[in-house]
A and B are shown apart, each in its own frame.
Chain A
């Protein structure tokens, strides 16, 4: 079943609901107590799971046993939280007594049914809006949980915000690795780190994760990574012409920036990264294979076509020293190799990835795709409908901003499993009509998704 819902236009009148998930011990109760005690001028009703233990005396705390209702056709999109329908139906009678609701799930809960309750039940939809899914993870035990429990993957995959808690108990390198792994599973979520769940409440309480307007307003390009590059390696280079070799990878171009740095420490790399981020917005000269990439601290776009791969680019170095090489994509995807003039390969003395690590065999991952040409509406509808029918069980969440052939307006959509919510939005105006789509799910095949969507271009 594929449903396209016209959301109510009066989002402001609907009561926002925040869903708090996370394994036992991740700090849900700590965060909940903070939300309830900190002065933010909002009255909050809490729907707590049967094991919940809110430590403070709060007027509106309701215990609910999680009841998963599967509707008669048995498809996963019709799996909802029956208890939530009932409790929210009762709470709506008292809507003048609170401003928002926080639902705490049990540790092992799959957030899918919770999210779907807000799509499927018309009464819930009329009075409540799902503001966001906040997932707490314990920095120490995340890997253990990911290794053992499918629910841990699901909780991360569904999240709008991931709070990495208890970071004081792991070192910086470990934290970096955790962040990359979380990104690999969920490229859309905002990742926050803290101890004792000390994160800004504004970042967890007003997320707009399912709000189509917000998808555009706060993150006009939610696909764009935090950094416009995925990797940096620091090399010791001699004053000679170095060779940069690349083989065919997932993209026909690759941006690189090379600049001198003092050392290969993480602070230096982070500083360099911040500088490079600002320069990435400048116009980028394209370089054909055989061309020269200068050490300017400015980006070059390597055109990966023509001739026989691997393609080689020359990097002239004037002065011996340490240089940071930033790459738009992970070097492994292009078998990137930096070699001296005589062809000897170099190994970085330090490196850092800024995104998504796929080194673990996480079956849950994110696929973000961009398209420069507009879509044909009919073909896209047909393709998306079939995708959700056939793969909806495996697709946890999706979001997109689409350019439709013949329309001046952006089409925005978001969905959970087989349930889609979408509508035409603001006009493109002078902006480039670049469509962006993100899928988060199980066993996603990036190439197949790209090809499928590509076949729907006008």
Chain B
């Protein structure tokens, strides 16, 4: 922790770098080695940015029409992209010719994610998810109740969770069959599994956060947010759930006792609604961005004010953490609506 503290102090001194893309960013993700930052935009391209120089090293003309989502394979230099052209493509280094996973169609290919091992990837097309495996098999899930608003694998990779109107559905990724319905009369807009996989949490359209303990099916709700809590993220150890939906970030305790009947820790520093947040891998560090263009780095729960606070010009659309194992660095990035990307390291 002392080394982390030293790094945090240094982070305050070394100003982050800024890169710019000529588009509204639609996704942000670090390569598994932390040496490339991929920024996708509504211009149909994915820009690969070198974090050392904050310059665009390569531009992938990924889709005809806006890119909806990008996801790096967890251990290989392979980037999964989806677009409003309905296509899902896999770009392997040197990112020149893609493998066409899903052919273009009138239905947007939207959210995309990998399982923790990278054995499977899932892509949302309207109300169904297409699950592709490393062996080349494809399973299409039964339709969820509505268009998919978010999807994620459980940490074990044995279950795919899909959020949408009416709650969360769990699917067997091998067959696409529904294994569980976690019903809630409301529209889920995001999804996150706790690291042990026992809990799934969602931001809801009606300004609340809903979560289920999957084994028992018991659910609970945190309400009273002034806005939609789009961002929900568990800390690496699963002890905390960070939520947006306000200018202050709420950290709900998810230790053994759970958040029921307990007050959240509030992190204050942004001047307006938090629009993006992400917990770091391996350490209890949180990165967040807000509508007022501020980007904050936090070391909660002890410190409830930002370790560093930077400023981008416009509304922050995405934040992301990366880990550069070789350089023993944590990298982070935040993008704003004007295509400015702030890149820092710890």
Contact = CB atoms under 8 A, between A and B. Distances in A.
Contacts of A78: 206
B186 interface: yes
A122 B147 contact: no
Given A86-B147, A90-B84, A93-B42, A69 B165 contact: yes
Contacts of B84: 62, 90
B126 interface: yes
Contacts of A86: 147, 149
Contacts of B186: 71-72
B106 A63 contact: yes
B228 A70 contact: no
Contact of B205 (A62, A71, A83, A93): A71
Interface in A62-112: 62-63, 65, 67, 69-72, 74, 78, 82-83, 85-86, 90, 93-94
Contacts of B227: 122
B206 A71 contact: yes
B184 A72 contact: yes
A94 B66 CA distance: 9
A65 B165 CA distance: 14
A123 B24 CA distance: 16
B24 A93 contact: yes
Interface string B277-297: 000000000000000000000
A78 B187 CA distance: 11
A61 to B, nearest CB: 10
Interface in A107-131: 121-123
B185 interface: yes
Contacts of B345: none
A123 B187 CA distance: 15
B26 interface: yes
A93 B66 contact: yes
Interface in B117-167: 126, 146-147, 149, 165
A85 B230 CA distance: 13
Contact of A93 (B26, B126, B146, B149): B26
Contacts of A94: 24, 42, 66
Contact of A71 (B42, B147, B187, B337): B187
Nearest to A60: B65
Interface residues of A, number: 20
Nearest to A64: B147
Contact of B187 (A74, A82, A93, A122): A82
Contacts of A121: 205
A121 B66 CA distance: 23
Given A85-B205, A94-B66, A122-B227, A65 B185 contact: no
Contacts of A62: 84
B14 to A, nearest CB: 31
Interface in B257-280: none
A85 B337 CA distance: 18
B66 A65 contact: no
B66 A90 contact: yes
Contacts of A72: 184-186, 206
B165 A67 contact: yes
Residue among A70, A72, A85 with max Cβ neighbours from chain B (10 Å):
A72
A78 B206 CA distance: 9
A78 B68 CA distance: 28
Nearest to B206: A71
A65 B206 contact: no
A123 B228 CA distance: 9
Interface string B18-59: 000000101000000000000000100000000000000000
A188 B146 CA distance: 35
Contacts of A85: 205
A99 to B, nearest CB: 17
A240 to B, nearest CB: 72
B106 A83 contact: no
A94 B337 CA distance: 11
A67 B146 contact: yes
Contacts of B24: 93-94
Nearest to B184: A72
Contacts of A63: 106-107
B185 A70 contact: yes
Nearest to B43: A94
Contacts of B337: 93
A232 B284 CA distance: 80
A210 to B, nearest CB: 21
Given A71-B186, A82-B187, A122-B228, A65 B205 contact: no
Interface of B: 24, 26, 42, 66, 68, 84, 106-107, 126, 146-147, 149, 165, 184-187, 205-206, 227-228, 337
12 contacts: A63-B106, A67-B165, A69-B146, A69-B187, A72-B185, A72-B206, A74-B185, A82-B205, A83-B147, A85-B205, A93-B26, A123-B228
Given A90-B66, A93-B26, A94-B24, 5 more contacts: A65-B147, A69-B187, A71-B187, A74-B185, A93-B42
